[in-house]
Structures are given as C-alpha cells and as structure tokens.
Chains A and B, each alone.
Chain A
Amino acid sequence: MNSDNVISVFQFIFLLFLQAFLLNNINLFGFINPNLYLLFIVIFRLNDNSTLLIFLGFLMGLLLDLLTQGSGGHTIASLTIAFLRPYIIKFSFGVNYEIPMGMVQGTLYSQRLLYLILVIFVHHLVLFSIIYFSFDNIITIIKNTLFTSFFTFILIYISLGLFKEKK
C-alpha cells in the first residue's frame, strides 16, 4: 500500500515533467501535442477515493499550465476528467466496477478500449473548447480534438503495455 503511494507520486512527477518539457514541444504537423499526462488519471488505482483524484487532477493541470505558460485550459480539462472518471468507469465496465487501475484481467478488451477512448476524447474536447472558447472556431476545436486524441491514444496504449510488463 505504502509503496503504491510512492509509485503514484513518482508517476505524477515524471508524467508532469515529461509532458511539460518534452511532449508539449512536439508540434507534430504543426499542432499535435499528445497529452500523455492523462495516463496518471487513467491508471490511478484508488477507486473509492475519488475526492483525492479530483484534487490531484486539478493540481496536475495547474502545475502543467504554470510550467508551460498555458492559459488554464489544462487545469479545467484535467479537473473535469478527474471528476468524471467514476462515471466513465461505471458506464464502460458496468455497475460492478471493483476494478483497480481499470486495466486488470477479467475485464473485456472492448470495455477497456471504450474506457480509454472516452477518457481521452472527453478530456481533449474540454481542453480545446476552453482554449478556443468560441462557437466560431468549432471546426478547429473538433479537428484538434480528433487528431490529438488519436495520437494521445496511441501513446497511452503503448505506455500501458510497458507498465503491464513491469507488474
């Protein structure tokens, strides 16, 4: 239990710095920066302590915005997704969601995929809506959401494989 906490803290710091100093400077095709820090919210293990996750999500977004001179879009988006995570888990795995990490054996592959896609898509939708904040830019918002979601999904999927091997 204790060592799990330590691992969580290291994950938090590692993903935060990786995102702020490496991934936010990728600019693939000019505008795609995959948001790998979502991995922290995806695999956060304490399902019953959702309050803590809300605080951590807020903190993650806030620190990321401060480190990257962002306007505040990451704060609102990761706060929102941390708040919505229990509902998304309920929706994708059914009512019996006694599943730590959301990625453990016994769940269907399609359910895990649905969970992952929902988290990533909702997060990016909120993020770009806040950043552009105008109905005139709705095409840009949707375009950015789809492309960035796709690349974030690939990255998170690969990273999940890495984490599973270690366990």
Chain B
Amino acid sequence: MRQLINAILKYKNILIYLGLLILSFVFLHQRSLYHHSIFSNASLILSSKFNLIGENFTKYIDLTEQNEKLLAENKKLKVLELIQFGEHSNKSKVLDSFGFEVSTARIIKNSYSNARNYLLIDKGYKDGMEVETGVISSDGVIGVINQVTSNFSSVLSILHRDLKINAGFKKNGAYGTLYWLGNHPKIMKLDDVSTLNTVAVGDTIVTGGMSDYFPYGIPIGTVINYKKPEREGYYDIKVKLFSNLTQKEFVYIVKNKKNDQLKQLKFE
C-alpha cells in the first residue's frame, strides 16, 4: 500500500497533467464544432472498423443460414413489388418521374435497445452514399442516413425518438407524422391525422409522398389501436410495424435522384 502511495506521489505530476489534458480535450470537444466533428468522425471510423471485423467473422460462421434468409426475403420483396405495381399503377408513374435510385447494403451494427438507435452499413461515399438518404428493407422503413465516411455510413433508425417521418393511410391518403415512443421495437405512434378522416383497426399505413427520403407507398404497418378525442382534433393512433428491426441483415438505400432540385425549390 505504501509503495502504491509512493508511486502515485512520484508520478503525481504526470497523472495531474494527463487528467487536466483529458479535461481540456473534453472542453475542446464541447466548444468547437470543428473539433467535435473530427472526434465523432474518428470514433465512427474506429467503431465501424471493429464492428466490421466481428460481423465478418459471424457472417462466415452462419453463411448458409443467411443465404436461406436472403432468398426468403427476396421472394417476399418480389411479391410485394408485384402487389404494389398492380394496385398503384397511377401512383407509380409519379414515382418514376421522381426517379428514385435503389442500391443494397449490409448492416454491420444494429442497436434497438436505446432511446436513440443507430445502424452502421457497409457503404460509404465511395459507393455513392449521401447524407439524408432513405433506407428501407424488404418489408418496411429502416431509417435515414445521417453521417457518411469513405466506406461506411451511419443510419438514424426509425427507432430513434427524434426521427419523424411522413406516413399515411393506404386506403384514403390521409397522412400524419410517424415516430417511435421509445419502448417496444414494433410499436410506433402516428400523430397529426385529422379526425375528419375515418380510421379502423387493421388499416395499412404506408409512407407518404411528402417526404424527400422515401417514395410513396412503402408499407410500414397496421393500426392496432386508436383513440378519438372528444372534440375536433387529431387522432392518437398506435401502429404495429410489419418489419422486425431486431433481426435485419440487408437493406436497400433509396436515393432521390432529383433531391437537389427539390431542395432548391424549398429554399427559394
């Protein structure tokens, strides 16, 4: 014990220096946006590298199982695509003229237990990824890209309490804002739907066309429960997601090819 105290006394200058140095780096990180972004970028690169190593290992171990899952997913996707094409032939013309470009990526890290969840995918700006691009899966919406490095991107999951997306009813087009409540990974809340519209349990919710991130009509979930306020106002709707975000492997990135024009219009 005495030796330990002696050692601490001997190196106290170095210890104090390192302690204060860490403190001043925290200060730097807090005060300067430039340093903040450099630190967070470095941590993103580091964490994605480590996650990729671990993910590659597990991926190799259960390769056959993943192949089967992927096949099943592809089949499901095909069916959905056909259904949608049949039902919304007039809407899909609008979609074509908007020009969404689809590419695939693999999830290398996925969290769903925090209040604000992120995913990492293995495509970066070398593969044409950009921030504020929508990410979907075979059976629903995943999130929006918020940060891009050369080989990786981080995605704000829809299980993130600050992310709100435009969604509406498939049957009549009434739309509102969909967001996560923060507890169950399959239950979300749809707000801002006016009581002028009729709502029934079991109605399908799809993405609304008013978002820059997602094209119209990607199925999200069904209504499981709703409350009508006593006076006029907005419904309080709970939505159960089709997709299970706790077991996703492959995602599709939907890039709006004409986003720059849209942005230009909005700012003018």
- Kindly state the separation between the CA atoms of A134 and B37 in the bound complex, as whole angstroms: 12
Stretch at the interface among B28-36, B44-52, B167-175, B179-187: B28-36
Quick check: is B82 within 8 A (CB to CB) of the other chain?
Answer: no
Interface residues of B in 12-36 (CB under 8 A from A): 12-14, 16-17, 20-21, 24-25, 27-28, 31-32, 34-35
Q: Across the interface, do B13 and A50 meet the contact criterion of CB distance under 8 Å? A: yes
Near B by CB (< 8 A), chain A positions 31-84 give 50-51, 54-55, 58, 61-62, 65, 71-73, 75-76, 79-80, 83
Task: Return B81 CB to nearest CB of chain A, in Å.
Answer: 46
Q: Select A133's contact among B13, B14, B27, B35, beta carbons within 8 Å.
A: B35
**In the complex the two chains form, is B34's CB within 8 Å of A55's CB?**
no
Q: How far is the CB of B29 from chain A (nearest CB, A)?
A: 8
For residue B115, CB closer than 8 A to chain A, the reply is no
Q: A71-B35, A133-B35, A133-B38 given as contacts; is B24 within 8 A of A62 (CB)?
A: yes
Q: Are A54 and B16 in contact (CB under 8 A)?
A: yes
A130 on the interface (CB 8 Å rule)?
yes
Quick check: A72 and B17 within 8 Å, CB to CB? no
What separation, in Å, do the CA atoms of A72 and B16 have in the docked complex?
18
Name the residue of chain A whose CB is nearest to the CB of B14.
A83
Q: Closest CB of chain A to B22's CB: distance in Å?
A: 10
Contact partners of A75 in chain B: CB under 8 A: 24, 27-28
Given contacts A76-B21, A134-B38, contact A54 B28 (CB under 8 A): no
Q: Which of A54, A58, A61, A71 has the most chain B CB atoms inside 10 A of its CB? A: A71
**Using Cβ atoms and an 8 Å threshold, which residues of chain A touch B20?**
54-55, 58, 79
Distance of A118 from chain B, by nearest CB (Å)? 18
B266 to chain A minimum Cβ distance, whole angstroms, is 33
Q: Name, among A72, A83, A130, A134, the residue most crowded by chain B CB atoms within 10 Å (CB to CB).
A: A72
CA distance A130 to B39 in the complex (A): 13
Number of interface residues of A (CB under 8 A): 19
B13→A61 contact, CB < 8 A = no
Are B24 and A79 in contact, with the CB atoms below 8 A? yes
Residue in B closest to A69 when the chains form the complex, CB atoms: B31
Contacts of B32 in A (CB 8 A): 71-72
Residues of B within 8 A of A71 (CB): 28, 31-32, 34-35
The listed residue with most A CB atoms (<10 A of its CB), out of B13, B17, B31, B38, is B17
- Once the chains bind, are A130 and B13 in contact (CB under 8 Å)? no
A50 / chain B contacts, CB cutoff of 8 Å: 13
What is the CB-to-nearest-CB distance from B40 to chain A, in angstroms, rounded to a whole number? 13
Please tell me if the beta carbons of B13 and A83 are within 8 angstroms of each other in the complex. Answer: yes
A133 CA / B21 CA spacing, docked (Å): 15
Q: Are B13 and A76 in contact (CB under 8 A)?
A: no
Q: In this complex, what residue of A is CB-closest to B26?
A: A72
> Is there contact, CB below 8 Å, between A130 and B28?
yes
| Distance A50 CA – B34 CA, assembled complex (angstroms) | 33
Is there contact, CB below 8 Å, between A58 and B24? yes
Given contacts A51-B12, A71-B31, A71-B32, contact A76 B17 (CB under 8 A): no
Interface centre among B14, B25, B28 (most CB of A within 10 A): B28
Of B13, B27, B28, which contacts A51 at CB under 8 A?
A: B13
> Which of chain A's residues have a CB closer than 8 A to the CB of B25?
72, 76
Rank and list the top 10 A-B pairs by shortest CB-CB distance, nearest first. A72-B28, A71-B32, A83-B17, A75-B24, A72-B27, A58-B20, A76-B24, A71-B31, A79-B20, A54-B16
Using a CB–CB distance below 8 Å, which chain A residues touch chain B? Answer: 50-51, 54-55, 58, 61-62, 65, 71-73, 75-76, 79-80, 83, 130, 133-134
Return 20 A-B CB contacts under 8 Å, by A number: A51-B16, A54-B13, A54-B17, A55-B20, A61-B24, A71-B34, A71-B35, A72-B24, A72-B25, A73-B28, A75-B27, A75-B28, A76-B21, A76-B24, A76-B25, A79-B21, A79-B24, A83-B13, A83-B17, A133-B38
